[in-house]
Structure formats: C-alpha cells, structure tokens
Chains A and B, each alone.
Chain A
Amino acid sequence: MDSLGIMRNLASRMVARATLPSLLIALAAAFTFAPSTQAAEVDIHGFVLGTGSLRLSDTPLVTGEKYNWLLGEARLRGDVDINSDSGITAAVAKIEFINDSIERAADIEVRELYGEYLGDMIEIRAGRQMMTWGVADRLFINDVFPKDWTAFFAGQPLEYLKIGSDAVKLSVFGNRWDLELVGIPVTQTDVTPTSSRFVVFDPGFAVREPANRLSNGEAAARLHTSFGSLDVAIYAFRGHWHQPDKGFDPASSQVIFPRLENYGLTLQDAILGGVFSVEGGYYRSVDDSAGIDPFIANSQFRYLVSYEREIVTDVTVAVQAYGEIMDNHAAYLAAAQPAFAAGGGPQPLPEHRKIGTVNVRALWLNQTLTTSLFAMAVASGGRMLIPDVHYAVTDEFSVNLGAHAFWGGPDSWMLGTMKHDDNVYANIKWSF
C-alpha cells in the first residue's frame, strides 16, 4: 500500500473508532478551551511500548491456529499538555500510533483528547477522557465507564483495561464535598475477547450497539465527602449494560445492551494500619425490572468488602470479597428454563455469585523490581492466576513479564470460558 493509502486507511479507522459525535465534542472542546499559544506552556512526553503475548494451548482457534499470538504490537505514544499561563484553561492529547504485527496493519488510538476549564468552584472537561470510580481492584461496581477486557487478558499494562469516555464532565467543589456530573452522549460498550485470537464461547451473533440518539446517552454522578479520615462517596448512573452477555434480541438474533441504572456507595478508611473499603451498588435492569424476560439480565445488588495492608516492609496483601445477588431469581429460572432444558448451552446463573481475590505485591531492589501475584476465584468454579514481574531497568526503560492461567467452571464470569487461553506476556517500555 502506498503512503497515501496508509494515511487514508488510518484516517478512516480513527473516525470509525472515535465515532463522529465524539470527535466533534473533542474538537469543539479543544477550540473552546485551548489557550492561545502566545501565553501557554506546552509539555510533550510519551513512550514506546512493545507488547507480545502468546496463547499457550493446543486447543485450536476457530481458524485452526494453536499456540497463537494474542498480541504482537508496538505503540508510539505522544502526550501533549497545553496549559494557559493563567492556569484557567488547558488542553490534553494522548494519542497512540500502533503497529500491529499480527494483522500487519497500522492504527491510531486516541486514548484521551480533551479541553478543560479550571475555575475556582467548577471545572469542565470535555472530550475523550479517562475516569475511574469506586474502590475495587479489577472488579467494578460504581465504575460504569467502558473497559477493554481484551487488552487485560492479553497482558497489556493494566491501564489499558480502561478506555476513555467521550464525555462532558462538570465538577463542582464545595467546602467539604465535591460533585462530578458526567454526560456521555454515545454509549460505549466494553471490548471483550473474540474468537479470532482467543478460545471463547462465541456463537457469532451480530452485535447491535444502542442507536446514536440523545435519549440513548448516558449520565453518571458522584458526590464525595469525608468525615475525618473516612472517605464517603455516593453514585448514580443511567445508561446501558456494557457487557455482551446481558441482552439478546431473539427476533433479530442480535446481542443488545439493555438499559441500566445504578445507585451506589463507597466507604474507605485507614484501619489497623491498613485500608478498609466497602462498595455497594444496586443495578436496576430497566428493560426487565421484574426479571421475567429470559433474554435480558435481571437487576442485581453488587457488593465488595476489601482490606489491604503492608504486612512487612514493601510487601502488601490485598483481599477482596465481591458478590452479585440477582433479583427475582425464581422468575429468571422459570423464564429461562426452556433454554437450559435444551442442554449443551450455558448453565443457569446462581442467585448469589461470589468472587474472592487475593493480591500479594512485593517491592525489591530499592523498589525498582515489583513482583505480584493476583488470584481470583469464583465460588461456583472458575479460577484465574496472574503472576507479574516489573523491573525498571533505568528511569526511562522498563521490562514487564507475566502470565494468565485459567481453570474453568460452569458459571465463572468470563473465566470459565477462557480455560484454553492461558498465556504469557511481555511489555517493554521506553519513556521520554
């Protein structure tokens, strides 16, 4: 392909990925808030990141491939930070140029691109932006923003589990509290592993994202305050389920993303030299609040209790107990009975799905070497183990090696379906 062709290809991919409305928001924001260049401070940084990840299983993909590469790519990342001298406006761009050696293709990913107004009492940030809410580690209740599970399972650095949202965020600050209001015009769903590189249950149904209508937009709010050293936040969300296993339209045989509301709470405090956290949320499945539609997920209550403590110097242990309690489980069983009776298909979900995690993290060699072991277990089956080593060879250059190991089970969130996806991964990063 000639260079013009590559450029055209990149441009079309970029637009397809970003969707037109979100790009318009980002551009409008950039023009509105970007400070004039005469009185601005510009900061340019970035990194080069190479990632390789190999699936260690002789169970073939649908293409017949065994021991295939899950990921083999190089990313060149550019971060541009523009701050006006007054400090009142700023613009940020974090853009990655990707060379995917498996697809033999180039791509551009806009990780973040926003403009912001930083007032005394309010701040407005518009464009593609990263947001992380809640207190859990690799489990999510009140963090309603999109995730990239493919990046996670393929061993990209943990930050790639999060995807930026095309959103407008208004923050209001009081004396003792702060409020964040987020509007996301176009629903963005999670990225999940597909059968092109992973051995996953993929019936091949077409996916129908919520239509680009304002009424399909999403809104989220977080109010945070503290009482002494106790951090308290309450959350509200109105939007859609973001996972592909939550809705199905039998008429068109398409995966759909039903409407969802969430009302949640987090509490966090330092107790006995460690950090104690509690998180809860009620997921109201708006399109099936009675639980009688077998094709739409029921409402559920999600909870998390966790404790993290440094047990000896530079060794930290974190334990999480998480659960999902389904509303109207009897109605769900009755409605879904014919499907399960057919056999061979998925097993019915339990009323109370419990997940436990343990993470042991240790720092060595003047904190330049980090080893961690993250273990996750689903009560009804399904286990995952992630050993990971990260070494900062110099301030600029780091190497990361790790693996994912899975054991199956009948009901096991994504884990059970991934028992043939054990993999090893490596990341090499040079920052500038």
Chain B
Amino acid sequence: MKKYILITLAASVLGYAAIAQAEDAAAIMEKAHLANYYAADDGSAKVRMEIINPDGAKRVREFTILRKDVEDGGDQWFFVHFKKPNDVRDMTFLVNKHPSAPDDRWLFIPAIKMVKRIAASDARAAFVGSDYTYEDISGRHPSEDAQEMLGEEELNGRKAWMIKNTPKDEVRDYAWRKTWVDQATHLVMKESYFDEDGAEVRRFTTDEIKQVDDFWVGIAGTMENLELEHKTTVRFSDVKLNVGIPDKVFTERSLKSAPKKWIR
C-alpha cells in the first residue's frame, strides 16, 4: 500500500507540468460550458433560425425556448415551442437533458393533440433540419472530450484561448475541434471542426454577444457546413434570465396546453 502511494506521488510530481496545462484547458472548457449553457438558473428567449442552402434559398424556424437548470453543469429542462413554419406551428419539444445519459424527449403534435415520446440516441442528429445538432443546442459536456491548450489569439479585438477538443469516443462527423474561448466572458466565440485529414469541415462563429443582467450571452451565431456550403444563422431576442419559470412548465401539461405567459 505504502509503495503504491509513493509510486502514485512520484508519477504525479513528474507528470505535473504536462498535466497542469491540460487541466487549465479542461478547466477553461468547464467554465465555458457553464457560461454558454448554464447562465443563471433559468431563462427564456425567442429564436429565429435561418437555414440557408448553397443557392441562398432560406427556410425559417421561429420558436420560443425556455430553460431551467436542475443543477449547474448537470440536468436541465428545455421547452421549445414553434411558431414557424406554419405547418409545425404549436409543435413543442420537451427535453430533459442528462449530461451522462441519453436525453428524455417528448414531442407534441398539435394536429391530433398527441404527446409522443421520441428516441434520442443520436446527439449529433440535426436539430429541425438545421446545421445545428441537438448537442449544439443543449451543450456537449467537456468530460466527453480530451483538452489541449493551443495558445492564445485575438479575435475581433478580444483575447481568446485556443483549445483543442478531441472526443474520447469517436464522433461521426468530425475528428477534433478547435475552440476559441473569450477570456473576459468564457463564451465560445468560434469553433472549427476538423476531419481526420485536418481539413476544416464545419465552423461555428458567435456573431454578437450581449450583457443580460450580470451575464454575457451570445445572441447571434452561425453554423456552417463547409463541405456542403450549407449554413444556419441563429438570432436570439427577448433574452431573459433568472425569471423564475416554475417546474410545472416542464411537464406533459405544458406540451398539451402551452403556458401562454411564458411563450408569448
């Protein structure tokens, strides 16, 4: 036992310098995860998504999103109520996000007033046909990636850390990503996705950030699929934080009878 402790101690002292840097990168990604996905205890926003194909043709999705954290960095509830396009008006998603297990998802189909449980095995599936995945919307937990500090860079006049994130378990659509984290706010300002050959295949940029109460939030962003020249822009409006959304909003009841006070 004593011997074991000694070996462990020696190993950790020797490895300290290398590990310290990795820990920094990991700690930054952890903070970025909280800043990007867990600001305040709850929040609401109106979202306009434009899905733009290479010819410039647009499809528009408009929805209200409500979020409530069960615990910072842990489980979260999302309620997504669609206004556009017209043929999915009043369609609603209820999502209970679990960082270390598949999400629980429910869908309300307004035409027949049916609540349907939906399978959620693939976090990399596209969210409502956009270039964003479900994971992009609700956040990928930093523990699923190995981090490496690549350095610092100025991006639009703001200092950012550059961090390499490599998924520990293979991901279908990219090999690793390079993430620019804003040093002042910990918001992700840019993220480039690379394939195994080192070619950039996908790119996220934060186009505008805004202070809401004590928090900085990204209110405009673009996700581009560089291979297909296909992109999706997102703009948030009416962003509110710490508004006290009651738990009962995140239930089957709200799916069947949308809480008008919160989705207006």
Contact = CB atoms under 8 A, between A and B. Distances in A.
B140 interface: no
A273 B125 contact: no
Nearest to B113: A130
A273 B27 CA distance: 30
B85 interface: yes
Interface of B: 51, 53, 57, 59-60, 84-87, 89, 96, 102, 104, 109, 111-114, 117-122, 124-126, 128-130, 172, 230, 248, 251-253, 257, 260-261
Interface string A266-291: 00101001110100000000000000
A274 B257 contact: no
Nearest to A268: B117
B126 A429 contact: no
Nearest to A161: B112
B253 A178 contact: yes
B122 A313 contact: yes
A178 B115 CA distance: 14
Interface stretch (A50-58, A100-108, A393-401, A407-415): A393-401
B167 to A, nearest CB: 16
B85 A396 contact: yes
A229 B104 contact: yes
A175 B253 CA distance: 11
A310 B125 contact: yes
A132 B112 contact: yes
Contacts of B251: 178
Contacts of A367: 126, 128-129
Contacts of B248: 173, 175
Given A47-B86, A366-B130, A392-B87, 16 more contacts: A118-B260, A130-B112, A158-B112, A229-B96, A231-B117, A268-B117, A273-B121, A310-B122, A310-B125, A313-B122, A313-B124, A313-B172, A316-B119, A394-B59, A395-B84, A432-B86
Question: Which residue, of A90, A131, A132, has the highest number of chain B Cβ atoms within 10 A?
Answer: A132
A113 to B, nearest CB: 14
Contacts of B117: 135, 231, 268, 270, 275, 277
A17 interface: no
A308 interface: yes
B119 A118 contact: no
30 contacts: A47-B86, A47-B87, A87-B260, A87-B261, A123-B257, A132-B112, A159-B112, A171-B257, A178-B252, A224-B252, A231-B117, A268-B117, A270-B104, A273-B102, A273-B119, A273-B121, A275-B119, A309-B121, A310-B121, A313-B125, A313-B172, A363-B129, A366-B51, A366-B230, A367-B126, A395-B60, A396-B86, A396-B87, A429-B87, A431-B87
